[in-house]
Structure 1
Amino acid sequence: MSNFVVRRLLSVIPVALIVLVTVFLLLHIGPGDPAALIAGENATPAQIEEIRARLFLDRPLIEQLFLYLSQVARLDLGESVYSGFPVLTLIMQRVEPTAMLAVCTLTLSVLIAVPSGVWAAWRAGSAVDTALIIASVLGFSIPVFIVGYILVDLFALRVGWFPVQGYKPLSSGLWSCLRSLMLPSISLSLLFSALVARITRATMIEVLSEDYIRTARAKGAKNGRVLVVHALKNIGVPVVTVVGTSFAALLGGVVITESVFNIPGMGRLTVDAIQTRDYPVVQGVLIVFSFALISVNLLVDLSYALFDPRVRQ
């Protein structure tokens, strides 16, 4: 078990280095002078040179990369060109809304999708199964922002159950925070619920056809015991895998959802930084998103050992 954990932890190091180098090169891939693009059309040569010196763009590329990696190792992501504040400070101010939105979305998705997929597989070919397939197709087909606008019109403007836009921090109370995130979480969770439900259904149907399931039934085991004890624990690996891989799509959906619902999170920070050509902020956000995704994938890999003892070897 310890060897398995060590191997997974060591495999993260080259991936993290590749991410850092890729994010660094994004500033140099585009045409033109990055400092001139950041400064804007009306900038003076002195202002352009000041930005070039601040971002180490006047140094050789290898030296720039070394300085950038050393800064990141010290948790120094630079300063915002637009506001002058440290990038890490700006990110920390926006982490809570995005983290809460991601947690609420994943929780809703799992609570909805896993029971629905299991029930549909148990009743394969029935009206319940057909309804799940149709709902999954709709969940994949309708864009997140359209679902968001529909939910705002129905449950915020007409009924008044939830706020139209904005975010209430945890300091204002857990219920106020969850209430402000309910509509955006539902908008995002429809897509992930559809994906997780389809994978759960397909995996459960395959598991229910295994010999040990037929053996359990032949021994007189009740349906509930067959489903929970013998079948459910064997769908853990594929379900956890799809939940983890969906996290990447969730980060992309956060950018759109936070813009629709005016949530001051990492997605809004990304959009604002792109619009103002604040490249240090864009790089910092990309690093945080990438390392969050790497961490989730690492947790998914480590969780395999809980569901499949063969992985520990």
Structure 2
Amino acid sequence: LVEGQMDVIACHQAGMKNVVASSGTALTFEQVKLLKRYSNNVAIAFDTDAAGQNAAKRGIDLALEQGMNIKIIQIPAGCGKDADECLKKNLDIWFKAVENAKEVMEWYFASVMVGTDKRDPKQKQKIADTLIAEIIRLPYAVERDHWLKKLADELGVDHTTLTSEMRRLASAKLTHRVSHPELNEGPLRNQRDSSALPQNDNEDWGEQGKTRLLAENIFALFLKFPKLFVEHDAGLSRGFFPPAPLVGLYESLKNHYNGSACLPIGMVDVKVMPSDLERENQNSIDILVLKADKDYSDFNLEDAKKEVDILLASIKSEWQKNRRAELTSALKQAEKDKNTELLQQILKQIMEIN
């Protein structure tokens, strides 16, 4: 993806065909959706001047929020400010720059870290605020957690400290965007970055919080696309989900479909369904329906199916990891107690998980 039409022409003349331009402006939400029809992978090379970099930044933000894989093409100093100039100077340099394009989060980390003193607490806070603002845009929880851990390592701070910072920034950002709807070019996708449902202040926002966030997004999609719950129900287990209200919501969905044999697949009446739930679960459904409308307003059934598959794979992986840790702890206790029968049972369960 380049900025100007001359950049596209120069690339095509050089034999590089899969190139399009935003025609001198920042990417729009509609352009990002159009690009996703052809590929989920985009390498961006906007002009190196301030205007070009600002346009690139806005385009990157939108593309990241749509779950695209972004790389940044960096033209070496003195080799031109854009693709057209670089190709005129040295065709090989351009092709090498494209080949060595850097993954966008790596590019952000390198750009923000350069010239900073990580021993200075104020500079550390500035680095954290800048990079967390970019990490928040990533739509997938596992990917966000990866970069948050990397940032914690870089700054020499605890992972949970940065997680708290991420929740603070996500909450502030969502409040700002809701208060200023004119700034929202696409749907409010970043509401996914913090838990939608009420939480206990003492709740651990580590592994438990990650599972909770995955589960919320899954149920938001199930409520918006009920057919997906029917298709995935056989492979689900209440053990995958955190405690109330999400386990209660899972049971309610099962009961709703089991008791609605005449209901066509793909239809669910969320006004009727909460009638047998506790008040907390009724509120949870209302919140998740709103979350689905905001976070997934542009999704069709096929988009939702892909998203649910990714989310379910992640939540099952989290469950396996947590269950394996529980069994390992029980195994050590059984060995200590010299309980051979229990030891064999636990080993069998570990094997089944693996």
Q: TM-score, normalised by structure 1?
A: 0.26
Q: TM-score, normalised by structure 2?
A: 0.23
**Of Structure 1 and Structure 2, which has the larger fraction of its residues in helix?**
1
Q: Which has the higher contact order (CA 8 A, sep 6+)?
A: 1
